[in-house]
Amino acid sequence: MSDKPLFVITGGSRGIGAAIARRAAMTHPVVILYKNDALAAQGVVDEIETNAGKAWAIRADMGDEHALLDAFRQIDELGRIGVLVNNAGITGGTSRVADLDSDNLAKVFSVNVIGAFIATREAVRRMSTERGGAGGVIVNMSSGASVLGAPNVWVHYAATKGAMDTMTIGLSKELAQEGIRVNAVRPGVIDTELHQQRTADSLARFASTIPLGRMGTADEVAEAVVWLASPAASYVTGCLMDVRGGL
Residue 197: band (very low, low, confident or very high) from pLDDT cuts 50, 70, 90: low
Find all residues with CB under 8 Å of 91, minimum gap 6, and list them: 108, 154, 157, 194, 197
Find all residues with CB under 8 Å of 71, minimum gap 6, and list them: 33, 58, 59, 60
pLDDT computed for residue 3 by the predictor: 87
Sign of the C-alpha dihedral computed for residues 220, 8, 93 and 161 taken in this order? negative
Residue 196: band (very low, low, confident or very high) from pLDDT cuts 50, 70, 90: low
59: number of Cβ within 10 Å: 17
pLDDT per residue as tens digits for the range 117-135? 999 999 999 999 999 999 9
DSSP-derived letter for residue 215 is -
DSSP-derived letter for residue 244 is S
Mean pLDDT across 187-203: 73
Mean pLDDT across 45-63: 97
Mean pLDDT across 166-172: 98
237-240 LR contacts (CB < 8 Å, sep 24+): 237/172, 237/176, 237/181, 237/182, 237/183, 238/168, 238/169, 238/172, 238/173, 238/182, 238/183, 239/183, 239/184, 240/142, 240/165, 240/168, 240/169, 240/183, 240/184, 240/186
pLDDT computed for residue 199 by the predictor: 61
Mean pLDDT across 170-188: 98
- DSSP 3-state of 93: coil
Sheet holding 136-141, edge to edge: 55-59, 30-34, 6-10, 81-86, 136-141, 180-187, 240-243
pLDDT computed for residue 15 by the predictor: 95
117: number of Cβ within 10 Å: 15
pLDDT computed for residue 99 by the predictor: 96
Nearest CA to 22 out of 52, 47, 4 is that of 47
132: number of Cβ within 10 Å: 9
243: number of Cβ within 10 Å: 18
| Per-residue pLDDT at 148 exceeds 80 | yes
Q: Which of 109, 157, 226, 243 is an active site residue? A: 157
Residue 247: band (very low, low, confident or very high) from pLDDT cuts 50, 70, 90: confident
Q: What angle do CA 122, 15, 158 make, to 5 degrees?
A: 70
pLDDT computed for residue 198 by the predictor: 58
| Per-residue pLDDT at 47 exceeds 70 | yes
Tell me the average pLDDT of the chain: 95
Please say if 235 is a catalytic residue.
no
Residue 76: band (very low, low, confident or very high) from pLDDT cuts 50, 70, 90: very high
DSSP-derived letter for residue 37 is -
Q: What percent of the chain has pLDDT over 70?
A: 96
Mean pLDDT across 109-124: 98
Walk me through the domains of the chain, giving residue ranges and CATH numbers. Answer: 6-239 (3.40.50.720)
pLDDT computed for residue 207 by the predictor: 78
| Per-residue pLDDT at 195 exceeds 70 | no
